[in-house]
Copies of this chain bind each other. A is one copy, B any other.
Amino acid sequence: MPNRTVFFVSDGTGITAETFGNSILAQFSAKPRHVRRPFIDSEDKADKVVSEINATLEAEGLRPIVFITLANESVRKVLTAERCKGLVMDMFASFIEPLEKEFGIKSNHRVGRFSDAAKSEEYNDRIEAINFSLAHDDGQSAKNLEQADVILVGVSRSGKTPTSLYLAMQHGIKAANYPLIPEDFERGHLPSSLAPHKRKCFGLTIDPERLSHIRHERRPGSKYAAIENCRYEVREAEQMMKRSGISWLSSTHKSIEEIATTILRDIRPDRLIY
């Protein structure tokens, strides 16, 4: 596929337009140039974007692809008018109408996903979850563990921290995380502060070769990063998780999004309607 420019045009942050556009574009082998145009909330601003789109066609000789999420009718009309020479993918037009019919009510043409929600309860829960996950990163604190929705365990650098933060940020889940360290393996059981919360624990493991590679980037040539040590820690950690009866998965070939989704599916925290 030849190089193309892709525009993401939205009256909000454009996050929806971009998530949506990226997942569509992932179906094609392409690395198009991204142009983000958020906060397009007037006909005037929309008109400028159309000029940009048309100038891009002139310069590149290829129709830009334009993903739009515009709730305001009159702003949307500027982008979908004939003057706009891009190939417009209009998320709202395709789906709002059938829903209006189904619900028997008109949509409220609200701009953006967050406009009214910024300081909503859901939003504040997410911010609180981020703060909780930060305060409970890497076993920093055993305080308030009963408030945790999920407690991730695993050897150092198995992906616990980014996954915890992702769970908090995306899902408002209070995710603590606890490293499993050589002292735990010698003692032969989970850190005792976790014992009352086993139901909420979820383990991450990782391929020892991959782990060694990651640790070498951090502490080159250390015993910590040595492949024999990584093999030992991973083996011990997996045995401990098995003995303790906690679910676990390997993060080696998984993104934090996939790990988080699996955790939520398996643990089903009470606060989430699943």
Contacts and interface: CB of A to CB of B under 8 A. Distances in A.
Contacts of A118: 253-255, 258
A9 to B, nearest CB: 13
Contacts of A254: 118
Given A38-B265, A165-B169, A63 B253 contact: no
A1 B103 contact: yes
B102 A257 contact: no
What is the copy number of this chain in the assembly? 2
A248 B250 CA distance: 42
Contacts of A34: 273-274
Nearest to A109: B27
B15 A257 contact: yes
A29 interface: yes
Q: Which of A36, A255, A256 has the most CB of B within 10 A?
A: A255
B105 A1 contact: yes
Q: Which of A20, A108, A166 has the most CB of B within 10 A?
A: A20
Interface in A243-274: 253-258, 260-262, 264-265, 273-274
Top 7 A-B residue pairs of the complex, sorted by shortest distance between their CB atoms: A27-B107, A13-B261, A16-B23, A114-B255, A118-B255, A19-B19, A94-B94
29 contacts: A12-B258, A13-B257, A13-B258, A14-B261, A15-B257, A15-B261, A23-B69, A24-B96, A26-B112, A27-B71, A27-B92, A27-B107, A28-B105, A29-B108, A35-B274, A36-B261, A38-B262, A38-B265, A39-B265, A89-B99, A94-B95, A114-B258, A118-B255, A127-B256, A130-B161, A130-B165, A131-B162, A162-B169, A169-B169
